[in-house]
Amino acid sequence: MTKGRSLKIYAIGYLMFLYAPIALLPVFAFNDSKIIAFPLSGFTTIWFSEMWNDAQMWTALKHSMIISSSTSILATTLGIFAARASTRYRFPGKGPAMGLIMLPLVLPEMIVAMSLLVVLLALGVPLSIMTVILGHSLICTPFAVAILTSAFQSLDQSLEEAAYDLGETPVSTFRLIILPLVMPGIISSLLICFTISLDEFIISYFLAGADSVLSAYIYSQFRFPARVPAMLALGTILVLVSVVLLTIAEYFRRRGIAKTGGKDTGGFL
């Protein structure tokens, strides 16, 4: 057996191990039984109807949509500033500053969540949707910076210099020239941050307080066996939404690279 064939078999096996549990979600979501086991009992859509009529789920979803939308906007805005500064300017402490911004990528989320909880309680800040937004923004900003850094690095600096020669100010050049060119990267960052925030559980669980959040609500429902099939139905929908958002984000990322004439060195999909 050749080395290339062995690597191919390993890659296929790894992908099956990674995604087989996700593939089973729709299988049991349409299974006509409250028991999650084989053999299957038959086809049904009753669990989707039960999920649809769950008022608590809709409340948690509304809170999660507010959190995810706010997080994506805040993290992307911070990412624009950080990516622009790191790709365009040189300043003392640039390396350590960017390292601190990207640090949440490698820190265990449990540690981040506990640290934020201790700090917020020490400051007397009540736990709410706002504290979840702050926590999610902390972990989403590095992703935004990574995406937007690639977009800013692909820019042709001569376009900016030409705008200055024609009398444009730095602000108008950024607004009229740079932002339109990096807009696909901005859209990609918004979608990625939205997806990450929507799926985030640990920080939501620690910082939500009395406000229900979708990921924490799903976790709480798994204590009741009768509620598991409806949660699998909800999980199926969330997986589809996540795949669609990531596909759109990757499209805009590649479009941005092509628009600025850069080279694609890898992506999400």
Instruction: Give 65-98 pLDDT, tens digit per residue.
Output: 999 999 999 999 999 999 888 888 787 887 888 8
Collapse the DSSP code of 43 into the 3-class scheme (helix H, G, I; strand E, B; otherwise coil) and give the result.
Answer: strand
Predicted confidence (pLDDT) at residue 263 exceeds the cutoff of 60: no
Give the mean pLDDT of 229-253.
81
Higher-scoring residue by pLDDT: 1, 49: 49
Instruction: Tell me the C-alpha to C-alpha distance, in Å, between residue 105 and each of 54, 75, 90, 101, 119.
Output: 35, 14, 24, 9, 20
Q: Which pLDDT belongs to residue 132?
A: 93
Q: What percent of the chain has pLDDT over 90?
A: 21
- Which H helix or E strand runs over 182? helix 179-199
Predicted confidence (pLDDT) at residue 51 exceeds the cutoff of 80: yes
Distance CA 159, CA 154 (A): 12
Give the mean pLDDT of 131-136.
93
CB 41 within 8 A of CB 103: no
- DSSP 8-state assignment for residue 54: -
Task: Tell me the pTM.
Answer: 0.80
Q: What percent of the chain has pLDDT over 70?
A: 91
Q: Tell me the CATH architecture of domain 54-260.
A: Orthogonal Bundle (1.10)
Collapse the DSSP code of 269 into the 3-class scheme (helix H, G, I; strand E, B; otherwise coil) and give the result.
Answer: coil
Structure token pair of residue 35: 């028991």
- Which H helix or E strand runs over 4? helix 3-29
Torsion over CA of 204, 206, 212 and 215, rounded to 10 degrees? 40
